[in-house]
Structure formats: C-alpha cells, structure tokens
Amino acid sequence: MTRCGVLALQGAFIEHVQLLSALGVDTVQVRRPDQLSGLDALIIPGGESTSVGKLAVAYGLVEPIRRMAQEGFPIWGTCAGMILLARDVGFGQPLLGVMDIVVRRNAFGRQVDSFEVGLDIPVLRTVSTGAECGRPFPGLFIRAPLVERLGPAAEALARLPDDVRIAGQAGAVVAARQGKLVATAFHPELTGDSRFHRYFLAVAGS
C-alpha cells in the first residue's frame, strides 16, 4: 500500500488526508522531520505560503524535503504548495526552490475573488474511468498563484481556458510537472473529484 505524507503545518491538509484515505491510501500527517521516513510520496497543501514556509523552517523540514525532491522523491504542491516548490516567487519568503517555475502569488486577487472553472487536463485521462472520461476537471482557485514562467525542466499540465484572462493574458499555466514533482494552483482536495490525486499516486508509483 502506498504511504503518502501530507504536510500538516497549516492550511487545507485534512481534506487531502480524507480524500487519500477514501482511496485506500495510508496517510501520515507530517509535522516533524522523522515523520518523512518510510513515505512513498508527499503532498504540500494549500494555505498561507509565508506561514507554512516559516513553520517548515522552524521545525527543520525545509532541508530534508528539499533533499528528497532533488533525489527524485514524488512531491505534489497545491496552491501554497506550488509557491513553496517554485524557484522564484518575486518575494522574500522561505522556498524549497526545486521546480523550474516562476510563480506569481495571489495572481487572481483576494479571497472574495475565488472562482471555479472547468479545466482540460489531458494527463487525467490515464486515470479516468466511465463517466469521468472527457469531463473537465473542477479547478477551484482560492487566492491562487499561477506560473508566470515555465523553465525548460518543467512542463505544463493545465492552462486556464482562453476566456479566463489574467492581466490580458490567455492560457496561463496553472499546473506543471517536473519529473516526479507536481504543482497545481488550484485545490483538487476541495472538489470531491479524486482524479488528480489518482494521477499523482500514479506518478509516485512510476
């Protein structure tokens, strides 16, 4: 059985735990470096990225997680987790800096500007069954970041539809992958749709 850790310092970690448990995945709420031992994958959830980063530094988690990522360990960051994985966010805060992406924090505005939009995510077809096939994924954006620049080591997994423009830009990248590192600007754990979690578990097991 896959054993997946969820960084549980702040933010929407319990929703990831619940969804993973429903999929039959053994989960660990990670708050200390020793709890990283024996994991097959790790999720860094959404929340307030500056707070999560400072807590990760305080609890001695930044360096071991960075080392794991550099060694090819599967890690998925959602929203704030995407920010922490990025190499640059144009803001002085603790980062893991392991993905070749430049991320803009709070790209869509404040909490009241949150929205949901259907996303075409081709890689999810590999884990979709029955009625899921061809169905757009519910992209839930809450004070969300986006990928401003995608480096050569990373690839886009999802873009905003052309009718959703940020600063006049269409097709902004909102999900990316680099080896076994995955980042999403949106919150799959809050939608009830488990396809992205199944996709990440497949990446972790590949």
197 tagged catalytic:
no
Instruction: Locate all alpha helices (DSSP H) within the chain, ordered by sequence.
Output: 13-22, 49-58, 62-70, 80-85, 195-205
Active site residue 79: yes
> What pLDDT, on a 0 to 100 scale, did the predictor assign at position 88?
94
Q: How confident is the model at residue 113 (pLDDT cuts 50, 70, 90)?
A: low
What percentage of residues in the chain have a pLDDT greater than 90? 78
Say which of 4, 15, 16, 189 is annotated catalytic. Answer: 189
Fold annotation for 3-205 = Rossmann fold (3.40.50)
Radius of gyration of the chain (CA): 16
Global confidence as pTM:
0.94
Average pLDDT over residues 106-122: 82
**Among candidate residues 72, 84, 82, the one with its CA nearest the CA of residue 172:** 82
Write down the domain spans for the chain: 3-205
170 pLDDT band, cuts 50/70/90, is confident
**Choosing from 15, 79, 148, 197, which is the catalytic residue?**
79
Q: What is the pLDDT at residue 133? A: 87
Q: What is the pLDDT of residue 167?
A: 58
Q: pLDDT digits over 69-87, tens only?
A: 999 999 999 999 999 999 9
